Every structure is written in structure tokens, then in C-alpha cells.
A = this chain, B = another copy of it.
Amino acid sequence: MAYFGDPVLAADLLFRPDHSVIDQSLNSRLGATTTNGDGFGLGWYGAGPEPAVYKSTHPAWSDPNLRELAQQVRTHLLFAHVRASTGTAVQRSNCHPFRHGRWLWMHNGQIAEFPTLKRDLVLAVDPGLYPSIEGSTDSEVLFFLALTFGLEDDPFEAVARAVGLVEDVARAHGVENAVQMTVATANGDCLWGFRYSTEGRSRSLYYSQDVAQLRRLHPDVAVLKGLGPETRLIVSEPLLNLPGAWTGVPEGSAGIVRPGTDEIRPFVPIPAG
């Protein structure tokens, strides 16, 4: 879940007790889902130039500190991630979102046969960035490949080159369907989303519609009233049943959310060769 818009209390997004809109469904998402109990993380832009992160290896639903924190954090850009491990250790350094300078990154999906490919992928990371890798996940390596290829200058191209490299390395090792990903990344000013898989069957990704229009459709939904026209949510699954609220990101697409006009475009990996 990534939120970008008017400053909002994190608890209103994560734990709102009433059943109005985002809240309850997100709450159930963070809490009751079977397979996402392998740690979680929040990232947000608050005081200071760099985003803050709060990560824990305990299930989100039983972390009292998270509830405390959510009542205190007000932010215009929030990342929330619950993790279901795909094999790597349940430890803080493997929890999303990952951070580098002003950038946050979170990823659902996986790099196929990552233990086999890991060494070659890590070798492709800029040696100057290499010491900053803290954990052992495919998701963090993908982030550092994107940073290596210029994430801070051109996120669309950098991620395309990172994915292209992973597919190259996978091909060299005879590994099929190398990449399965939905990614959200941000620098505090803008938010980018990516939906792609080598085999063309990516996990779902949705973004919220124009809030002004939603308010006209659903004048009775309380949480919508407090949100400005630029507010956007990007989620793996729709958080509520409001007709017209969510638009699926098309297969093989990437988009940018920012003040002003958002944009969505096709995503095509750029091979290394």
C-alpha cells in the first residue's frame, strides 16, 4: 500500500475503527491474512530530508508499538508493507520498504531461483553501493540494481534496465520466468509504480481514482471528505468495494503519481547487452 496526497494520520489509513472506507479492509489486510505474518514495515516522509522507516519481524496485528506510532505519524507519503517470506530469513533487514537516501522501495513478487542468480546479480551492483546492501532478499537486490542503473535520475529507465539485467542473468542460467513484480518507489516528491512479469501474468496492482469524482459518486463516504484532489493510493488489492474507486494497472505498465497530471506508460525491460 502506498499513499500520496494530503497529510493524513497513519492510523486513519491503517487502523480506522469504523467501517467506512479504506480502514477496515486495510486493517483486515494487515491483520487477518494468513500468509503475511513474516514481518512488516512502514516508511514515510516526515521530519528531516530522509524518510523514516519502522520495521518489525512480529506480525503487524500484534505489535502494540505500531498502533502507538500510527497515532503519531502524519505524512503526505506513506508506504506500508506486510511480508510473506519466499524463503529468506525473517529479520528486520529483509523487511520492506527499503531505503537509500531519499528513496523508498517495496516489492511484491520474486526473482525466480534467486539463490542461483544472486551472485551474478550482486556483482552487477555498483561497487560503491554494494556495502549498503543490508539484507538477503531478492527485493533489495532489485532495488540496488535500479539504483545502479540511475533510479535517482530516471526511474522508468533504471527499473527497465534492472529487470532487463535480471532476465539476462536468468537466461544465462537457464532459469525461466525470471521476474514477477509489482514495485512502488518514491523520493518524497513523486511516487512510481510498476507491474511486470517475464511471463506476462503479473500480480495485481490498482490505483485509486480521482477523489473529486469519487466524492460525487459516493457523497456519504466520510473518509473521502478529508482528502484533497491529488490524493492517490496504490495497492495490491482493492481496499473497498466502492464501484468506480479502483483502476487496475495494465499488465506490463509503469506509472508516476505526482502533483499535477499523473502518467501511465508501457513497461519494457531493457536488456543489458
Which of B62, B115, B134 is close to A38, meaning CB atoms less than 8 Å apart?
B62
Contacts of A57 in B (CB 8 A): 58, 62
Contacts of A64 in B (CB 8 A): 55, 89, 92
Query: Is the Cβ of B47 less than 8 Å from the Cβ of A74?
Result: yes
Query: Is the Cβ of A130 less than 8 Å from the Cβ of B119?
Result: yes
Q: 11 extra interchain contacts, Cβ-Cβ under 8 A, other than A37-B59, A38-B59, A134-B136?
A: A32-B34, A37-B61, A47-B72, A48-B71, A52-B68, A54-B69, A57-B62, A58-B58, A62-B90, A69-B69, A116-B131
Which of B52, B58, B90, B93 is close to A136, meaning CB atoms less than 8 Å apart?
B93
Which of B46, B53, B130 is close to A118, meaning CB atoms less than 8 Å apart?
B130
A-B contact pairs, 13 of them (CB 8 A): A34-B34, A37-B37, A37-B61, A47-B71, A52-B71, A54-B69, A58-B58, A64-B92, A65-B65, A89-B92, A91-B93, A93-B136, A123-B123
A73 at the interface (CB under 8 A from B): yes
A110 at the interface (CB under 8 A from B): no
Distance (whole angstroms) from the CB of A194 to the closest CB of chain B: 26
Q: Which residues of A contact B (CB under 8 A)?
A: 9, 32-35, 37-38, 46-48, 52-59, 61-62, 64-65, 68-69, 71-74, 85, 89-93, 115-116, 118-119, 122-123, 127, 130-131, 134-136
Q: Of residues A32, A34, A55, A115, which shows the largest number of chain B Cβ atoms within 10 Å of its Cβ?
A: A34
8 smallest beta-carbon distances between A and B, as pairs: A115-B131, A34-B34, A91-B91, A62-B90, A37-B37, A119-B130, A52-B68, A46-B72
Contacts of A65 in B (CB 8 A): 54-56, 65
Rounded to whole angstroms, the CA-CA distance of A33 and B37 in the bound complex is: 11
